[in-house]
A and B are shown apart, each in its own frame.
Chain A
Amino acid sequence: METEFTPIMSLLGGVLIGLSAVLMMASFGRITGVSGILGGLFTFTPFTNLWRLAFVVGVILSPFIFRKATGITPDYHVSSDVVILVIGGLLVGLGTVIGSGCTSGHGVCGMARLSKRSFFATALFMVSAIVTVYVMRHVI
Protein backbone atom coordinates (compact mmCIF):
# COMPACT_ATOMS: atom_id res chain seq x y z
CA MET A 1 0.00 0.00 0.00
CA GLU A 2 1.39 3.40 -1.06
CA THR A 3 1.61 6.28 1.42
CA GLU A 4 1.97 9.96 0.56
CA PHE A 5 5.39 11.62 0.90
CA THR A 6 4.92 14.28 3.62
CA PRO A 7 8.27 16.05 4.18
CA ILE A 8 6.87 19.20 5.85
CA MET A 9 4.46 17.45 8.25
CA SER A 10 7.10 14.85 9.08
CA LEU A 11 9.76 17.50 9.72
CA LEU A 12 7.36 19.48 11.97
CA GLY A 13 6.36 16.30 13.81
CA GLY A 14 10.04 15.51 14.31
CA VAL A 15 10.68 18.99 15.73
CA LEU A 16 7.84 18.45 18.26
CA ILE A 17 9.37 15.10 19.30
CA GLY A 18 12.68 16.95 19.79
CA LEU A 19 11.04 19.75 21.81
CA SER A 20 9.46 17.15 24.09
CA ALA A 21 12.88 15.56 24.66
CA VAL A 22 14.41 18.98 25.42
CA LEU A 23 11.58 19.77 27.88
CA MET A 24 12.21 16.50 29.75
CA MET A 25 15.95 17.26 29.95
CA ALA A 26 15.44 20.89 30.99
CA SER A 27 12.82 20.15 33.66
CA PHE A 28 14.30 17.13 35.41
CA GLY A 29 17.30 15.97 33.45
CA ARG A 30 15.79 12.91 31.85
CA ILE A 31 16.52 11.20 28.54
CA THR A 32 13.24 10.68 26.66
CA GLY A 33 13.32 7.00 25.76
CA VAL A 34 9.81 5.63 25.43
CA SER A 35 10.84 2.00 25.93
CA GLY A 36 12.69 2.94 29.12
CA ILE A 37 9.87 5.11 30.45
CA LEU A 38 7.24 2.49 29.63
CA GLY A 39 9.40 -0.40 30.85
CA GLY A 40 9.89 1.39 34.17
CA LEU A 41 6.15 1.10 34.79
CA PHE A 42 6.26 -2.67 34.45
CA THR A 43 8.89 -3.83 36.89
CA PHE A 44 9.05 -6.25 39.77
CA THR A 45 9.92 -3.47 42.20
CA PRO A 46 7.39 -1.23 44.01
CA PHE A 47 5.82 1.56 41.97
CA THR A 48 7.34 4.99 42.64
CA ASN A 49 7.45 6.85 39.34
CA LEU A 50 4.33 8.90 38.76
CA TRP A 51 6.13 10.94 36.07
CA ARG A 52 6.49 7.81 33.90
CA LEU A 53 2.76 7.17 34.06
CA ALA A 54 2.06 10.83 33.25
CA PHE A 55 4.29 10.75 30.15
CA VAL A 56 2.71 7.50 28.92
CA VAL A 57 -0.81 8.86 29.49
CA GLY A 58 0.17 12.01 27.57
CA VAL A 59 1.31 10.01 24.55
CA ILE A 60 -1.84 7.84 24.66
CA LEU A 61 -4.15 10.89 24.84
CA SER A 62 -2.29 13.04 22.29
CA PRO A 63 -4.37 11.86 19.28
CA PHE A 64 -7.47 13.47 20.87
CA ILE A 65 -5.75 16.85 20.83
CA PHE A 66 -4.56 16.22 17.27
CA ARG A 67 -8.14 15.48 16.22
CA LYS A 68 -9.49 18.57 18.00
CA ALA A 69 -6.82 20.79 16.44
CA THR A 70 -6.90 19.46 12.87
CA GLY A 71 -10.24 17.65 12.55
CA ILE A 72 -8.31 14.76 11.00
CA THR A 73 -8.41 11.17 12.26
CA PRO A 74 -4.86 9.79 12.00
CA ASP A 75 -4.21 7.26 9.22
CA TYR A 76 -3.59 3.77 10.55
CA HIS A 77 -3.03 0.65 8.49
CA VAL A 78 -1.51 -2.38 10.17
CA SER A 79 -1.30 -6.14 9.69
CA SER A 80 -4.49 -7.93 10.74
CA ASP A 81 -2.55 -11.16 11.29
CA VAL A 82 -2.66 -11.85 15.05
CA VAL A 83 0.44 -14.08 14.90
CA ILE A 84 2.48 -11.31 13.25
CA LEU A 85 1.20 -8.73 15.77
CA VAL A 86 2.07 -10.94 18.75
CA ILE A 87 5.53 -11.94 17.47
CA GLY A 88 6.26 -8.31 16.51
CA GLY A 89 5.16 -7.00 19.92
CA LEU A 90 7.16 -9.62 21.81
CA LEU A 91 10.32 -8.89 19.77
CA VAL A 92 9.98 -5.11 20.22
CA GLY A 93 9.55 -5.63 23.98
CA LEU A 94 12.47 -8.06 24.24
CA GLY A 95 14.79 -6.12 21.96
CA THR A 96 14.30 -2.69 23.51
CA VAL A 97 14.90 -3.96 27.06
CA ILE A 98 17.95 -6.07 26.09
CA GLY A 99 19.37 -3.26 23.92
CA SER A 100 18.46 -0.53 26.47
CA GLY A 101 16.55 1.68 24.04
CA CYS A 102 14.40 2.16 20.97
CA THR A 103 13.84 4.71 18.22
CA SER A 104 13.50 7.59 20.72
CA GLY A 105 16.13 6.70 23.33
CA HIS A 106 18.88 5.58 20.92
CA GLY A 107 17.63 7.05 17.62
CA VAL A 108 16.77 10.57 18.76
CA CYS A 109 18.23 11.36 22.22
CA GLY A 110 21.29 9.10 21.91
CA MET A 111 22.32 10.36 18.49
CA ALA A 112 21.71 13.97 19.61
CA ARG A 113 24.13 13.28 22.50
CA LEU A 114 26.61 11.81 19.98
CA SER A 115 26.61 8.50 21.88
CA LYS A 116 28.65 5.83 20.07
CA ARG A 117 26.44 3.12 21.54
CA SER A 118 23.30 4.81 20.20
CA PHE A 119 24.75 5.31 16.69
CA PHE A 120 25.66 1.62 16.70
CA ALA A 121 22.25 0.49 18.02
CA THR A 122 20.33 2.74 15.60
CA ALA A 123 22.28 1.51 12.58
CA LEU A 124 21.72 -2.08 13.67
CA PHE A 125 17.93 -1.87 14.21
CA MET A 126 17.50 0.08 10.96
CA VAL A 127 19.35 -2.60 8.98
CA SER A 128 17.52 -5.37 10.84
CA ALA A 129 14.11 -3.75 10.13
CA ILE A 130 14.93 -3.08 6.46
CA VAL A 131 16.03 -6.70 5.97
CA THR A 132 12.86 -7.93 7.72
CA VAL A 133 10.58 -5.85 5.47
CA TYR A 134 12.53 -6.97 2.39
CA VAL A 135 12.17 -10.63 3.32
CA MET A 136 8.47 -10.35 4.22
CA ARG A 137 7.47 -8.30 1.16
CA HIS A 138 9.81 -9.47 -1.59
CA VAL A 139 11.12 -12.93 -0.68
CA ILE A 140 8.37 -14.88 1.09
Chain B
Amino acid sequence: MQTLISLIAGLIFGYGLVLSGMSNPAKVMNFLDLTGSFDPSLIFVMLGAVVTTFIGYRLVWRMERPFISGELQNTLKSQIDGRLIVGPILFGVGWGLVGLCPGPALASLTFGGLSALIFFVALIIGMLVSKLIVRFI
Protein backbone atom coordinates (compact mmCIF):
# COMPACT_ATOMS: atom_id res chain seq x y z
CA MET B 1 0.00 0.00 0.00
CA GLN B 2 2.83 2.36 0.96
CA THR B 3 4.50 1.54 -2.35
CA LEU B 4 1.36 2.37 -4.34
CA ILE B 5 0.82 5.69 -2.49
CA SER B 6 4.50 6.61 -3.09
CA LEU B 7 4.12 5.87 -6.79
CA ILE B 8 1.02 8.09 -6.97
CA ALA B 9 2.76 10.85 -4.97
CA GLY B 10 5.73 10.63 -7.37
CA LEU B 11 3.42 10.90 -10.39
CA ILE B 12 1.65 13.96 -8.93
CA PHE B 13 4.98 15.54 -7.98
CA GLY B 14 6.48 14.98 -11.43
CA TYR B 15 3.31 16.18 -13.15
CA GLY B 16 3.57 19.36 -11.09
CA LEU B 17 7.20 19.84 -12.11
CA VAL B 18 6.41 19.45 -15.80
CA LEU B 19 3.22 21.60 -15.69
CA SER B 20 5.00 24.37 -13.79
CA GLY B 21 7.92 24.51 -16.25
CA MET B 22 10.52 23.53 -13.64
CA SER B 23 11.54 20.55 -15.75
CA ASN B 24 12.81 22.95 -18.44
CA PRO B 25 16.37 24.03 -17.52
CA ALA B 26 16.11 27.15 -19.74
CA LYS B 27 13.17 28.38 -17.66
CA VAL B 28 15.01 27.77 -14.39
CA MET B 29 18.13 29.54 -15.66
CA ASN B 30 16.01 32.53 -16.76
CA PHE B 31 14.44 32.68 -13.31
CA LEU B 32 17.95 32.87 -11.86
CA ASP B 33 19.10 35.44 -14.45
CA LEU B 34 17.81 38.56 -12.68
CA THR B 35 19.70 41.02 -14.90
CA GLY B 36 19.14 39.18 -18.19
CA SER B 37 16.18 37.31 -19.71
CA PHE B 38 14.43 37.12 -16.30
CA ASP B 39 11.33 34.86 -16.14
CA PRO B 40 9.60 35.15 -12.72
CA SER B 41 7.39 32.04 -13.24
CA LEU B 42 9.21 29.96 -10.65
CA ILE B 43 8.22 32.35 -7.87
CA PHE B 44 4.69 31.11 -8.54
CA VAL B 45 5.81 27.45 -8.34
CA MET B 46 7.38 28.15 -4.97
CA LEU B 47 4.33 30.09 -3.79
CA GLY B 48 1.87 27.35 -4.84
CA ALA B 49 3.99 24.56 -3.37
CA VAL B 50 4.88 26.21 -0.05
CA VAL B 51 1.38 27.56 0.70
CA THR B 52 -0.26 24.20 -0.17
CA THR B 53 2.25 22.28 1.95
CA PHE B 54 2.02 24.79 4.82
CA ILE B 55 -1.77 24.42 5.06
CA GLY B 56 -1.81 20.68 4.27
CA TYR B 57 0.85 19.78 6.86
CA ARG B 58 -1.06 21.65 9.58
CA LEU B 59 -4.24 19.74 8.78
CA VAL B 60 -2.35 16.42 8.70
CA TRP B 61 -0.56 17.11 12.00
CA ARG B 62 -3.96 17.11 13.73
CA MET B 63 -4.10 13.35 13.10
CA GLU B 64 -2.70 11.00 15.73
CA ARG B 65 -0.59 9.14 13.20
CA PRO B 66 -0.30 8.74 9.41
CA PHE B 67 -3.11 6.69 7.85
CA ILE B 68 -0.80 3.93 6.57
CA SER B 69 2.22 3.62 8.84
CA GLY B 70 5.04 5.40 10.64
CA GLU B 71 5.15 8.56 12.73
CA LEU B 72 4.40 12.14 11.66
CA GLN B 73 7.79 13.81 11.12
CA ASN B 74 7.63 17.15 12.81
CA THR B 75 10.81 17.60 14.82
CA LEU B 76 12.87 20.62 13.87
CA LYS B 77 16.61 20.88 14.23
CA SER B 78 17.78 24.45 14.60
CA GLN B 79 21.56 24.13 14.53
CA ILE B 80 23.27 25.78 11.57
CA ASP B 81 26.61 24.05 11.05
CA GLY B 82 29.33 23.98 8.42
CA ARG B 83 27.54 21.34 6.38
CA LEU B 84 24.50 23.61 6.03
CA ILE B 85 26.76 26.32 4.60
CA VAL B 86 28.98 24.26 2.28
CA GLY B 87 26.18 22.00 0.94
CA PRO B 88 23.72 24.64 -0.31
CA ILE B 89 26.55 26.72 -1.83
CA LEU B 90 27.81 23.72 -3.86
CA PHE B 91 24.24 22.74 -4.80
CA GLY B 92 23.52 26.32 -5.93
CA VAL B 93 26.56 26.39 -8.22
CA GLY B 94 25.53 23.10 -9.85
CA TRP B 95 21.89 24.23 -10.15
CA GLY B 96 22.98 27.54 -11.69
CA LEU B 97 25.35 25.84 -14.15
CA VAL B 98 22.77 23.48 -15.68
CA GLY B 99 19.32 24.50 -14.37
CA LEU B 100 18.42 21.04 -13.03
CA CYS B 101 17.83 20.10 -9.39
CA PRO B 102 17.12 16.46 -8.30
CA GLY B 103 13.34 16.41 -9.03
CA PRO B 104 13.56 17.81 -12.57
CA ALA B 105 16.65 15.65 -13.20
CA LEU B 106 14.35 12.63 -12.72
CA ALA B 107 11.32 14.08 -14.50
CA SER B 108 13.38 14.91 -17.62
CA LEU B 109 14.98 11.47 -17.98
CA THR B 110 12.37 10.27 -20.50
CA PHE B 111 12.42 13.36 -22.73
CA GLY B 112 15.78 15.05 -22.07
CA GLY B 113 17.86 12.68 -24.18
CA LEU B 114 21.56 12.04 -23.58
CA SER B 115 22.19 15.32 -21.72
CA ALA B 116 19.60 14.43 -19.06
CA LEU B 117 21.19 10.99 -18.66
CA ILE B 118 24.73 12.41 -18.35
CA PHE B 119 23.55 14.89 -15.69
CA PHE B 120 21.71 12.14 -13.78
CA VAL B 121 24.71 9.78 -13.72
CA ALA B 122 26.97 12.62 -12.50
CA LEU B 123 24.37 13.49 -9.83
CA ILE B 124 24.35 9.92 -8.49
CA ILE B 125 28.17 9.76 -8.48
CA GLY B 126 28.20 13.09 -6.59
CA MET B 127 25.78 11.69 -4.01
CA LEU B 128 27.83 8.52 -3.49
CA VAL B 129 31.11 10.45 -3.19
CA SER B 130 29.65 12.88 -0.65
CA LYS B 131 28.24 10.01 1.42
CA LEU B 132 31.78 8.67 1.64
CA ILE B 133 33.12 12.12 2.55
CA VAL B 134 30.41 12.71 5.16
CA ARG B 135 31.35 9.41 6.85
CA PHE B 136 34.85 10.67 7.48
CA ILE B 137 33.99 14.18 8.74
Contacts and interface: CB of A to CB of B under 8 A. Distances in A.
Contacts of B102: 34-35, 38, 92, 96, 102-104
A24 to B, nearest CB: 5
A5 B65 CA distance: 41
Nearest to B54: A112
B78 to A, nearest CB: 5
Band of interface residues on A: 35 or more
A51 B53 CA distance: 20
A47 interface: no
A107 to B, nearest CB: 7
Contacts of A111: 50, 54
Interface centre among B92, B105, B115 (most CB of A within 10 A): B92
Contacts of A109: 53, 57
Contact of A62 (B6, B11, B63): B11
Band of interface residues on B: 35 or more
A7 B40 CA distance: 8
B52 A59 contact: no
Interface centre among B26, B84, B120 (most CB of A within 10 A): B84
Contacts of A22: 52-53, 56-57, 59-60
B27 A3 contact: yes
Given A13-B16, A108-B46, A95 B68 contact: no
A31 B90 contact: no
Interface of A: 1-32, 34-35, 38-39, 42-44, 50-52, 54-66, 73-80, 82, 84-100, 102-104, 106-109, 111-117, 120-122, 124-134, 136-138
17 contacts: A5-B39, A7-B41, A23-B8, A32-B13, A35-B102, A55-B7, A58-B14, A59-B106, A78-B119, A82-B118, A86-B122, A94-B133, A95-B86, A98-B134, A106-B88, A111-B50, A112-B54
Q: Give the top 6 A-B pairs by smallest Cβ distance, nearest first.
A: A99-B87, A58-B10, A93-B126, A13-B20, A14-B48, A128-B92
Given A55-B13, A92-B98, A93-B129, 7 more contacts: A6-B41, A75-B26, A76-B23, A88-B95, A90-B122, A100-B84, A131-B92
